[in-house]
Amino acid sequence: MIRRIGRVLFLAGLFYAPLVAAQWQVNLVEGATEISRSVYNLHMIIFYICVAIAVVVFGVMFWSIIWHRKSRGAKAAHFHESTWVEIIWTIVPVVILVSMAVPASTTLIQMYDKNSADIDIQITGYQWKWRYKYLNQDIDFFSSLATPQEQISNEQAKGDHYLLEVDKPLVIPAGKKVRFLLTSNDVIHSWWVPALAVKKDAIPGFVNESWTRVDEPGIYRGQCAELCGRDHGFMPIVVEVKSQDDYALWVAEQASLKVAEAQSAQQEMSQAQLMERGEQVYKGACAACHQQEGQGIPGVFPALAGSPLMTGDPAEHINVVLHGRSGTAMQAFGEQLNAADLASVITYERNSWGNQGDMVTVQQISELLKE
Amino acid sequence: MGSLEQPVHSTGHHGPATGITRWLYTTNHKDIGTLYLLFSLMMFFIGGCMALTIRAELFQPGLQLVRPEFFNQMTTSHGLIMVFGAVMPAFVGLANWLIPMMIGAPDMALPRMNNWSFWILPFAFTMMLSTLLMEGGGPNFGWTFYAPLSTTYAPPSVTFFIFAVHMMGISSIMGAINVIATILNMRTPGMKLMDMPLFVWTWLITAFLLIAVMPVLAGVVTMMLMDIHFGTSFFDAAGGGDPVLFQHVFWFFGHPEVYIMILPAFGVVSEIIPTFARKRLFGYTSMVYATASIAILSFIVWAHHMFAVGMPLAGELFFMYSTMLIAVPTGVKVFNWVATMYRGSMTFETPMLFALAFVVLFTIGGFSGLMLAIAPADFQYHDTYFVVAHFHYVLVPGSVFSIMAAAYYWLPKWTGHMYNESMGKLHFWLSFIGVNVTFFPMHFLGLAGMPRRIPDYALQFADFNMVATFGAFLFGFSQLLFVYNIISCIRSGKKATDNVWEGSHGLEWTLSSPPPYHSFTEPPVFKHPYKDNG
């Protein structure tokens, strides 16, 4: 009976083990690139060296603690210096450090080889989303958190990729050298995907370079690593690596999407349609600062509810939304959203939370954007 | 003028004033030391409550208790308060109490300035804490306050934060000047520099670091102030400035700053281990040189905090090599402590327990520091919980444990009473378990990919975060035992002998317990505790 229980427990343990391992991840990922694997190996080498040193040093220390204690009748020795010992334990660490520095330098030099990329992508950090612009191709889009607010506020069950999912992932081909040019629109962000071993700061006014070459198609997730304000924890990165054929299809698809979007910018929308679409756009683009109910955060982000900007001249309101306010966190949304989205969200802001303002049409915005 | 020959109007008994004025007007090194230590203890609890707020929010994924903007204010204030309010003033308090007694002086060299350097602090921190109640909230840009998040994008209260940092800087600089003036001028005749206790040595070196880098901190916050209010563009690329310049200036202050918080800890541990191993400190001379080397190296390693900002390859390599080099003198120190214990005759009173935990856990923090120094690997560790684990290992079981060790070690001398040993040991074990349960899992979280300073996290980080939160609450609440033990030691407790410990050596132990109000009214005859008996 006891043996049977033991066997059941053992089997249960076997099934449970991988689950546990998935949850209690304790080490770096090996990753999906040559660089990430060499970083992983470097990490393990240094870790083992540290463990070996720890075993020796703590070994001597615990030996002394156990055997050279007064309660065992230990009498203190009188030695207090030894030039030879001091020289040895200065030189030995230097040798160990040199042996660490050699592979570390090799890997670093490899990482800094930024030449001859197949694809160049400009990555721009915005307060709390990423913009991916494929240079020399007509592809340019924003990528922001896709996890619904209800999951964050614990009203819904959390999905598998909670906080690590975006509306539009960065898509790159496998086996090609992709160069990233990183910059920022506002504060410093840091673009990090552990499986690629790429982490580079995105700094306003400066362009940083990094690159990757991913072996296998797959989905790799990461996060902004540099504190960038309120929603720093909510700007994930998803990289979808496609086979080269699939990537070509994806690129072609982007061109047709672009045409469809240009058509949608011409459409007529009723106030009800604008309000409905505006609410969605508001949640995605505006609510992080101005809050769900338009109340803002006093002293940091102005309230929209009851703001004279919302009820006054629409031209001024449109101007702020399209071009931002320099020197503040208010971004220029003219480059981020299409005409239909802009018209919807402005109309929504002018007619919500007690605001009574005019409707703004898609055409009005389209013409302004053409200028 | 003959003023030196004028008789001193001494009544033989000159005690402190009574009531609140004793503390407000005091120029006495012991009173000021007490003020610093109590202030630090208070800040430790305030900063600790902030840490528990952070850990409580991170107990489970999702936002439960606080909103992200408040969470950022908590991480920022927790860091600033612990660094500038808890650890630094605690060491200044220890310096005030101990340096005059260790070098045979009656008091600090500049007693009135001493009073001023303390009394600036309560005002500086009141101002800084008051920003939490202001519109827009307190500082929310991390304790490293990187521009432009801390300039263009900062809440309006940032100006008060800048002013508070200026005041803390003034206080630290004055404290450091006082320490240097005291050590260089007021040693008892016959005590050479190389005869000084290591605590005095480490503080002398720390004081030079403070004087060197506090003005740099003042400079960087002034540049922020100019950018915010006077239209300059030091850190604004749109005006020709450079946000990375901020980081270079900040870390040129910041790296020596972290050694300011650990060198006196080395000193404390170097006093305690020989006492309880009943054996002279191994390699005194190399300890002094190692401390000085660490201090000098601390000026040329700052950019290892910035490996991800996009430095050229040569810069990355230079800062990687110079940082790795720090492992050598630090290693020498650890080896010396272990060699001191080796073939000693050890006992394990509370101060020794804290000192031993310091050696082990600080060394673990040193190992993770070495890993972080490896630039290519740092791209994976940078700004993750691995870094959080690293600096908490060197600061909590490092600096903070050494402060607690010092408190237990010298408390009987200061108060004249023994503390409660069993309660001290209980406090140690709970703290030791709490600290490791809190911070060890953070290594795993960081390696698994959890960035620091986030109020909410993906599901795979849930388990270790929960463990860390349990540890944090255990550690936090155990500190109440420390407070209780201190209070009961001050008010009652077994009478302490002058020597207190069987193996203690040094001038402070020749004074009565508690020591007279003006420690040494005449310079004691200096006799090296070991040199005479070989």
Q: What is the DSSP string of B495-520?
A: BPPSS-STT--SGGGGS-SSPPSSS-
**Domain identity same for A257 and A154:** yes
Write down the pLDDT at residue B168: 96
| Helices and strands (H, E) in chain A, number of each type | 11, 10
A45 burial type by CB count under 10 A (0-12 exposed, 13-18 middle, 19+ buried)? middle
**Residue A218: helix, strand or coil by DSSP?**
strand
Asked if the model's pLDDT at residue B455 lies above 60, the reply is yes
**Residue A240: helix, strand or coil by DSSP?**
strand
Beta bridge partners of A200: A191
Contacting residues of B for A97, CB less than 8 Å apart: 324-325, 327-328
B457/A188 CB distance under 8 A: no
Mean pLDDT for the stretch of residues B146-165? 94
Query: Chain B: nearest CA to A144, how far in angstroms?
Result: 16
Alpha-helical regions (H) of B374-461? 375-381, 385-394, 401-415, 421-448
Domain end point (choices A263, A284, A318): A263
Write down the pLDDT at residue B127: 96
Asked if the model's pLDDT at residue A13 lies above 60, the reply is no
Confirm if A139 and A133 have CB atoms less than 8 A apart: yes
- Angle at CA of residue A184, ends A40 and B381, nearest 5°: 20
**Domain identity same for A202 and A275:** no
Confirm if A32 and A241 have CB atoms less than 8 A apart: yes
| CA pair distance A225, B201, nearest whole angstrom | 39
The H-or-E segment that residue B332 falls in is helix B327-341
Domain B19-533, classified CATH 2.40.50.100, yes or no: no
Convert the pLDDT of each residue in B190-212 to its tens digit.
Answer: 999 999 999 999 999 999 999 99
In the chain, the amino acid numbered B328 is V
Place of tokens 């929504």: A348
Touching check for A201 and chain B: CB below 8 Å?
yes
Structure letter (DSSP) for residue B399? I
Convert the pLDDT of each residue in B292-313 to its tens digit.
Answer: 999 999 999 999 999 999 999 9
Write down the pLDDT at residue B177: 97
Domain end point (choices A111, A128, A148): A111
What is the reported pTM?
Answer: 0.92
B324/A100 CB distance under 8 A: yes
**Domain identity same for A55 and A146:** no
Confirm if B350 and B272 have CB atoms less than 8 A apart: no
Confirm if B383 and A188 have CB atoms less than 8 A apart: no
What is the domain extent for residue A88? Answer: 28-111
**What is the overall mean pLDDT for chain B?**
93
Q: How many residues does chain B have?
A: 534
Sequential DSSP letters for A105-166: HHHHHHHT---S-SEEEEEEEETTEEEEEETTTTEEEEE-B-S-HHHHTTSSPPPTTTTS-B
Torsions phi, psi of A286, nearest 5?
A: -115, -30
B13 is catalytic: no
Confirm if A236 and A132 have CB atoms less than 8 A apart: no
B119 is catalytic: no
Cis peptide before B441 (omega within 30 of 0): no
Beta bridge partners of A171: A240
**Residue A219: helix, strand or coil by DSSP?**
strand
| CA pair distance B299, B297, nearest whole angstrom | 5
| CA pair distance B265, B273, nearest whole angstrom | 12
A166 burial type by CB count under 10 A (0-12 exposed, 13-18 middle, 19+ buried)? buried
**Domain identity same for A125 and A259:** yes
- Which residue among the candidates B31, B57, B227, B257 is catalytic per the annotation? B257
With a pLDDT cut of 90, the percent of chain A lying above it is: 53
Is residue A131 domain-resident?
Answer: yes
Beta bridge partners of A129: A126
- Angle at CA of residue A42, ends A38 and A47, nearest 5°: 150
> By C-alpha distance, which of B207, B251, B242, B243 is closest to B91?
B207
Touching check for B139 and chain A: CB below 8 Å?
no
Considering only CB atoms, A50 lies closest to which of B72, B141, B371, namely: B371
Strand order in the sheet with A129-134: A139-143, A129-134, A119-126, A178-184, A208-212
In the chain, the amino acid numbered B263 is L
Q: What is the dihedral of CA B160, B162, B165, B170, to 10 degrees?
A: -100
Convert the pLDDT of each residue in B44-99 to its tens digit.
Answer: 999 999 999 999 999 999 999 999 999 999 999 999 999 999 999 999 999 999 99
Asked if the model's pLDDT at residue B532 lies above 60, the reply is no
Confirm if B297 and B329 have CB atoms less than 8 A apart: yes
Domain end point (choices A111, A142, A175): A111
Between strands A170-173 and A178-184, the pairing is unpaired
**Domain identity same for A160 and A259:** yes
Is residue A3 domain-resident?
Answer: no
The H-or-E segment that residue A210 falls in is strand A208-212
Write down the pLDDT at residue B13: 55
Tokens of B19: 């009531």
Is residue A37 domain-resident?
Answer: yes
Write down the pLDDT at residue B1: 38
Q: Who contacts A185 (Cβ-Cβ below 8 Å, separation ≥6)? A: A124, A125, A126, A127, A131, A204, A331
Write down the pLDDT at residue B508: 93
Considering only CB atoms, B451 lies closest to which of A24, A71, A225, namely: A225
**Domain identity same for A95 and A201:** no
Tokens of B54: 């952070």
Is residue A198 domain-resident?
Answer: yes
Convert the pLDDT of each residue in B281-291 to its tens digit.
Answer: 999 999 999 99
Convert the pLDDT of each residue in A238-257 to its tens digit.
Answer: 999 999 999 999 999 998 88
A206/B320 CB distance under 8 A: no
Banded pLDDT at A280 (limits 50, 70, 90): confident
Write down the pLDDT at residue B2: 40
Asked if the model's pLDDT at residue A123 lies above 70, the reply is yes
Beta bridge partners of A214: A33
Is residue A11 domain-resident?
Answer: no
Tokens of B39: 């202030």
Touching check for B315 and chain A: CB below 8 Å?
no
Is residue A10 domain-resident?
Answer: no
- Which residue among the candidates B452, B453, B456, B498 is catalytic per the annotation? B452
| CA pair distance B455, A234, nearest whole angstrom | 9
Confirm if A111 and A212 have CB atoms less than 8 A apart: no
CATH number of the domain within which A54 lies: 1.10.287.90
| CA pair distance B76, B155, nearest whole angstrom | 13
| CA pair distance B466, B460, nearest whole angstrom | 12
Convert the pLDDT of each residue in B385-411 to its tens digit.
Answer: 999 999 999 999 999 999 999 999 999
Is residue A4 domain-resident?
Answer: no
Convert the pLDDT of each residue in B95-152 to its tens digit.
Answer: 999 999 999 999 999 999 999 999 999 999 999 999 999 988 999 999 999 989 999 9
Show which of residues 467-526 on chain B sit within 8 Å of chain A, judged by CB atoms.
none
Cis peptide before A314 (omega within 30 of 0): no
Is residue A86 domain-resident?
Answer: yes
Q: What CA–CA distances, in Å, run from B376 to A107, A215, B215?
A: 7, 20, 32
Beta bridge partners of A119: A178
Write down the pLDDT at residue A283: 85
Beta bridge partners of B371: none
Considering only CB atoms, A230 lies closest to which of B72, B344, B364, namely: B72
Domain count for chain A: 3
Banded pLDDT at B233 (limits 50, 70, 90): very high
Mean pLDDT for the stretch of residues A118-141? 92
